[in-house]
Structure 1
Amino acid sequence: MKQKQIMITADQALPGREQALIVDDVHYVNHSSLTASPENGCQEILFGMGCFWGAERLFWQLDGVVSTSVGYSGGYTRNPTYEEVCSGQTGHTEVVRVVFDPQVLPLRQLLNVFWERHDPSQGMRQGNDLGTQYRSAIYVYDQEQLTISEQSKETYQALLTEQKQGTITTEILPAGKYYLAETYHQQYLAKNPNGYCGLGGTGVCFPPE
């Protein structure tokens, strides 16, 4: 089990495949496109918070979020399957792609939700879910997102330290290739309301603005 919590190198990763997985493009809840590029001033960002089922549900319910989808990023294997990601041999983590309108939901507020609703200090796990695919991550698309995310991390670390909690292990990096997960994973908890949700926070919240 510990082997699954050790990050592999590119040379060790499964090769994957050239062809992308065939995934339905329509969001099961709000009927938006899962693959469309952000329009009309909207932005996108990728969040890793452990199992992506509960994380996606968290975000699609927020005012200002236009679309969500789940997939794999941060690793090496091309067009991976869920089984390959769970093997720990792809380097990818489970992520949620969030397309949002910063005029309605500023990135700082979106990040507050990200930090508060999982435990970003657990390394290669989230609760009982163990493995590199469950690591905490923020993958950004421009320098402004990077700066805001790093500042937000510093602020939340100070709050955790005040409460004698752990050190944040979240990786914050420029977004690489994002691979959509299989259709049955998309909006999973809307299709399966009693399905597994491992989402859980530290209990430490940002002060109200």
Structure 2
Amino acid sequence: MFFLSDMLNKKLNLPKPEEALPGRDRPIPTASKHYVSKRALKGPYPEGLETALFGLGCFWGAERLFWQTEGVWVTAVGYAGGVTANPTYQETCTGLTGHAEVVLVVFDPKIVSYAELLKLFWEAHDPTQGMRQGNDVGTTYRSAIYTFSDAQYQAAVASRDAYEASLRSAGRGKITTEIAPAPTFYFAEEDHQQYLAKNPYGYCGLKGTGVSCAIPAAAPA
């Protein structure tokens, strides 16, 4: 019983650098093209596009949510926010890399704004659950927004504050979403890229709170 409790504790707490798995120097193999759009997964991306990075639980369903959004050029799943360099899926699932499962979203701001992506993010999951998302338990499934500019950071914080007020009015708890400048993004293995396009009846753990998110007017377009 002690062993099981110890393992659960590790999954619910981020590892210290000295506790993290060592990783590797070279990136793990992944797909070259998006399975649905056939666009280059790692770029180069057309001029004028912007990048966002979101964690909202299991990345299979989260990625589909974004690739189906008009104005999104390409998506990819991967790992970010931890310690271990170039981790594998199996390593990340132990909780000993510190990474969250995330979705990289490359989008055209002339068609879909960052504010609209934030609204999609907040409404698609429950950001009050800490180190879990529904039945998916562990640091891997934490809610996170990693930003690529000060404008994105300010917009993310403003949207969080506004949504938290709405959630509390609905009897929900405090938002636990991590908001920070984007760390290194590590592409996941090819099998995980666009997983639900390859496996239409595969697992999707997305479940929102049912509370609408009104993005503040100050959030940039």
TM class, shorter-length: over 0.9
Question: Contact 1:38 / 1:44 at 8 angstroms: preserved in 2?
Answer: no
Cα distance, 1:37 vs. partner? 4.5
Aligned runs of 1:1-209 on 2, under 5 Å?
1-207=8-214
Can you give the 5+ residue segments of structure 1 that lack an aligned partner in the other structure?
A: none
2:159 and 2:176 map into 1 onto residues whose CA distance is 14
How high is the TM-score relative to the length of structure 2? 0.92
Identity of aligned residues (%): 53
> Which amino acid is 1:137 matched to?
A
Question: Contact 2:10 / 2:96 at 8 angstroms: preserved in 1?
Answer: no
2:43 and 2:157 map into 1 onto residues whose CA distance is 27
How high is the TM-score relative to the length of structure 1? 0.97
2:138 and 2:82 map into 1 onto residues whose CA distance is 13
2:181 and 2:28 map into 1 onto residues whose CA distance is 23
2:44 and 2:179 map into 1 onto residues whose CA distance is 22
> Which amino acid is 2:112 matched to?
L
Can you give the 5+ residue segments of structure 2 that lack an aligned partner in the other structure?
A: 1-7
SS of the aligned residue for 2:145 comes to strand
Question: Contact 1:111 / 1:152 at 8 angstroms: preserved in 2?
Answer: yes
Cα distance, 1:3 vs. partner? 2.9
What per-residue deviation string (whole Å, max 9, x for no partner) do you get for residues 27-60 of structure 1?
Answer: 0001111111543211111100000000000000
2:160 and 2:44 map into 1 onto residues whose CA distance is 27
Aligned residues: 209
